[in-house]
Structure 1
């Protein structure tokens, strides 16, 4: 049996200072473009990595790539069918694509699963296309009285 010392992590290591430039075109991306490339790369090897999918879906939506965001949200619903936030995000994707009926189905499912953040619901710009529909107020009431 091997015995480890308590001071094992107290010794510091000094690494040499290297100056290098990444010249590959993949590394010449900035901001959200790099973020999308990075998470898509992770998902190539691990297509069901939920945290990457969540982040990538939000990034697609923030960049106006609503169709891609919808595909990610649909996949997340298959991977996490009982997660109210995943269904809420799916409702947002459908609403952004003006698929109102399906957005209401997903939003109702999110509420049934336990989504209760009424403040966020009422201020979320993604749901703007739903607010003029009578079904929207019914879902708000459902949250208030649940």
Structure 2
């Protein structure tokens, strides 16, 4: 699960990132609601993609784009955005953690472990969060993942923010 390094602009108000698309007093059937949510996310990806082309170093835009791509399951595109974010801010542990998640979701396990290790070196060490994150599930069977978790102090909830 991607972590936000800053407030996610798609999560405020009644925009495409909202929890429910139901307007007050007008329930929307589940399938239609999900379709509307996807349409909103697709629009947001198009909008943020254009904004990122115009302002390639804008981390806030890239972060929102990464979140929207993740919500849509567009894993490879999300990976590319996460790589851009790490290149722009290589000392940010949350961005390295997000890159680890993207790499794991794209079945690049060795690179995911490398990114996760770097995130931990930079201060991201929420053991419980890392162990339970569904984005990292493909790493659970790897000895290198288990060793990495075992190397962290138990009960540590600091993540570099």
Q: Shorter-chain-normalised TM-score: which range? A: 0.7 to 0.9
- Output the aligned Cα RMSD: 1.6
TM-score after normalising by structure 1: 0.75
In the other structure, the counterpart of 1:22 is none
Shift of 1:121: 0.9
More helix by share: 1
Shift of 1:142: 2.2
Residues 125-144 of structure 1: pairs in structure 2 closer than 5 A = 125-144=134-153
Shift of 1:41: 2.1
Could you give the per-residue CA deviations for residues 30-70 of structure 1, whole angstroms, max 9, x where no partner exists? 31011111211211211111011111112112211111011
Q: How many residues align?
A: 118
In the other structure, the counterpart of 2:92 is 83
| Greater RCO (Cα-Cα under 8 Å, separation 6 or more) | 2
Larger radius of gyration: 1
Unaligned runs of 5+ in 2: 1-37, 157-161
Runs of 4+ with >3 A deviation? none
Residues 46-85 of structure 1: pairs in structure 2 closer than 5 A = 46-85=55-94
Unaligned runs of 5+ in 1: 1-28
TM-score after normalising by structure 2: 0.69
